[in-house]
A = this chain, B = another copy of it.
Amino acid sequence: MGPSSPRPPTDPEELAPVNASHPLPDALPSWNVGAAKDALLAFVARVSTEGSADFVPPADRLAVHDNDGTLWPENPLPFQAAFAFDELRRRLPGEPELAADPMVQAALAGDLATLLAGPHFEGLLRLVALTHAGMTVEEFQGCVEAWLASARHPRFQRPYGALTYQPMQELLRFLEAHGFRNVIVSGGGADFMRVWVERVYGIPPEQVVGSTARTTFALKDGIPVLTKTLDYLFVNDREGKPSGIHQFIGRRPILCCGNSDGDQAMLQYTTIANPLPSLGVLIHHTDAEREYAYDAVTKSTGKLVHALAEAPSRGWAVVDMKRDWNAVFAAD
């Protein structure tokens, strides 16, 4: 929202107490009253209230959030894949040799099934790798910036960066206001996300754990240059997520938000036998009208079967997007 479009006057109803036990202005106005919102409010209150038996020191208030499908959509395909496809199309005229790669062919044919085969979406990652390596860190950042400024989501016709979930943005701010540190823990590329996380989520780049590969460092013409490679690719998905959290952060989370079986391991890591109080949250995509509806069957990433089945026994809060969110995206 630019300076020429001031916020509309606040609706006094929006600031009214949600219920008697939360007499302050509602910090999560896009969340409807219900079990999911109650679980979040109650958990944050009990770990951040000094004197509470479940008080957690601020340093240990680590909240981890998946990105695709948790903070923004992953349909009709993960946004980073859309970037990779667009990059291939942009580069193919000048680099026709790219067309020899079977995964490039699948991408150009729109054959997402081939790209998503395998437990870690190996085809998709191959494509991501082709479009994310062999260039300097700054060149890659420039590609992402240019794409983000120009590309539009095919269904919503808005820039991808404008399509974050409004209720999750409120949750991020609510957690920060209560001393939490939010870290994005995503299968997406760390270098891809770090270009825009500060602008889009208010989360600094060092609070991103993503898929990574090594860069090489050298002085070129006397100037330090980091070049992206495909070596030592680390896929931060499934069992990789707890490993990534340990490797990059070195601290166990107490709150974990995810939306798919790819988040099951980090939900377990967060909530099972954690010496500190903890909460797991699963975003369930139930709203085909305002966003997308999928779980066991999906044409994109984000399959959700095992984690959903495990949720009741673990006490993970399941967010029914249709029922629990009164807004999905921020207003235009």
Contact = CB atoms under 8 A, between A and B. Distances in A.
Interface of A: 59, 137, 190-191, 194, 198, 204-206, 208, 212, 214-219, 222-224, 226, 232, 234, 239-243, 246-251, 265, 268-269, 272-273
A251 to B, nearest CB: 6
A250 B191 contact: yes
Contact of A218 (B208, B215, B239): B239
Contacts of A59: 198, 204
Contacts of A226: 242-243, 246, 269
A308 B219 CA distance: 17
Contacts of A191: 250
A246 B205 contact: no
Nearest to A190: B250
Contacts of A194: 250
Contacts of A246: 137, 215, 226
B215 A247 contact: yes
B219 A272 contact: yes
A217 B59 CA distance: 24
B190 A215 contact: no
A268 B205 contact: no
Contacts of A239: 216-218
Nearest to A227: B243
A250 to B, nearest CB: 4
A220 to B, nearest CB: 11
B247 A214 contact: yes
A265 B191 CA distance: 21
A327 to B, nearest CB: 29
Contact of A269 (B205, B224, B242, B250): B224
A206 B251 contact: yes
Interface centre among A190, A216, A217, A249 (most CB of B within 10 A): A217
Given A215-B246, A216-B243, A224-B269, 14 more contacts: A190-B250, A191-B250, A205-B250, A206-B249, A214-B234, A216-B239, A217-B239, A217-B241, A217-B243, A222-B272, A223-B272, A224-B272, A224-B273, A248-B248
Contacts of A273: 223-224
B217 A247 contact: no
Given A232-B234, A246-B137, A268-B224, A251 B205 contact: yes
